[in-house]
Amino acid sequence: MKVALIFGITGQDGAYLAKFLLSKKYKVHGVVRRTSAINRYRIDKIDPKLKKNLKLHYGDVTDALNVIDIIKKTKPNEIYNLAAQSHVSVSFNKPIYTTSSIVDGSLHILESIRLLGFNKKTKYYQASSSEMFGNNPSKVLDEKSNFDPQSVYAISKIYGYYLTKFYRTTYQIFASNGILFNHESPWRSETFVTKKIVKGLTSIKYGKHSKLKLGNIYSKRDWGYAMDYVEGMWKILQVKKPDDFVLATNNQISVKEFINLVLKKLKMYGNWKGKGIKETFIYNKKIIIEIDKKYFRPAEVHSLRGNYFKAKRILKWFPKTKISKFTDIMLDYEIKKIKNK
């Protein structure tokens, strides 16, 4: 039985990855911070029959001694580093914590693998991000595209990216980067815009709330489905040679287009009025969406679209779930929550 260790198991990607690996008959160890106790609802949703092969450990990637102790005890075949402060907007307000969780975490795990002599035993996956590309002017971005970070989050991710490449070439560790573009699901945190839109508009539709406030609705993103992407993470560690891969859909839409998709599916027909900061959406003669300056980033990333063809060629990976389908999945989840209350 293969053994996997997931740092950041309580997040969207960590929980879906745990579910996926358990279905593949792995023994899965997950690291949780003691402050993450209230956020374990995603793990709680995993089939109890699968969870018999899941063990949780208290820890924090910023604690080097704790990290090496957990890796020494679990002796994993695969390590997935998904632990970090993962919200771009938060990184503007909490740059020190963001940097520490990403930079220190990557270094502590990779150095632990080296110090323990696990170079040949343990494969390492680093969660990199499309935010590293920032405002690169290329219409489509791939593994050869230049980075142009626009946040502390993105800058920290670039450090983790190059650190992974360094340990791969210098210490012959099987260490790979997954440069993932946006990927969504019902388990997405409510601070992410797709979840905020789906939950907000569903709540308005069913009379639970009256208004949704958003920032830049004209930024464009390449959105996929989280379950497809965690399979891609796993595939990155199954090939013969470590490498870096973009996982994306090769499509993009604006935040406003995503709003319109959700509105259509909820049959909330209305009209957009105004421009810029004064733009609003009117439904049933009431303003239900408005723009709020506080949700704009100090430095905006205007457009991100990825090319996944390297992953398709080498990993045989491709995005299976279209945006319309995973939006339905997210809406069904929110509607059921409201109706079951």
Q: Are residues 144 and 258 in the same domain?
A: no
Give the 3-state secondary structure of residue 292: coil
- Residue 13 confidence (pLDDT): 97
326 in a structural domain? no
Mean pLDDT score of the chain: 94
Q: Are residues 119 and 203 in the same domain?
A: no
Q: Of the candidates 75, 79, 44, which has an alpha carbon nearest to the alpha carbon of residue 61?
A: 79
Q: Are residues 118 and 212 in the same domain?
A: no
Q: Are residues 205 and 120 in the same domain?
A: no
- To 10 degrees, what angle do helices 12-23 and 226-236 make? 60
Specify the DSSP element, H or E, that contains 78: strand 78-81
Q: 286: which residues sit within 8 A by CB, 6+ positions away?
A: 210
Tokens of 219: 């930024």
The pLDDT profile of the chain, 341 residues, written as one tens digit per residue, is: 999 999 999 999 999 999 999 999 999 999 998 765 567 889 998 999 899 999 999 999 999 999 999 999 999 999 999 997 766 767 777 788 888 889 999 999 999 999 999 999 999 999 999 999 999 999 999 999 999 999 999 999 999 999 999 999 999 999 999 999 999 999 998 889 999 999 999 999 999 999 999 999 999 999 999 999 999 999 999 999 999 999 999 999 999 999 999 999 999 999 999 999 999 999 999 999 999 999 998 888 999 999 999 999 999 999 999 999 999 999 999 999 998 87
**Residue that is written with structure tokens 């709540």 in the block:** 203
Q: Are residues 138 and 261 in the same domain?
A: no
For the domain that residue 272 is a member of, what is the CATH number? 3.90.25.10
Tokens of 338: 């409201």
Which residue spans within 101-235 are E strands per DSSP?
123-129, 174-180, 183-184, 212-214, 220-221, 224-225
198 in a structural domain? yes
Tokens of 201: 């508009």
What Rg value do the Cα atoms of the chain yield, rounded?
20
327 in a structural domain? no
Q: Are residues 197 and 114 in the same domain?
A: no
**Residue that is written with structure tokens 């209230």 in the block:** 38
pLDDT in tens, 71-96: 999 999 999 999 977 667 677 777 88
Q: 263: which residues sit within 8 A by CB, 6+ positions away?
A: 201, 269, 270, 281, 283
47 in a structural domain? yes
313 in a structural domain? yes
Range of the domain at 295: 193-218+254-300+332-339
- Residue 84 confidence (pLDDT): 76
Tokens of 286: 């009431």
> How many independent structural domains does the chain possess?
2
Tokens of 114: 């080296």
Q: Of the candidates 310, 305, 153, which has an alpha carbon nearest to the alpha carbon of residue 220?
A: 305
- CB-facing half-sphere around the CA of 160: CA atoms within 13 A: 34
Q: Of the candidates 118, 132, 130, which has an alpha carbon nearest to the alpha carbon of residue 167?
A: 118
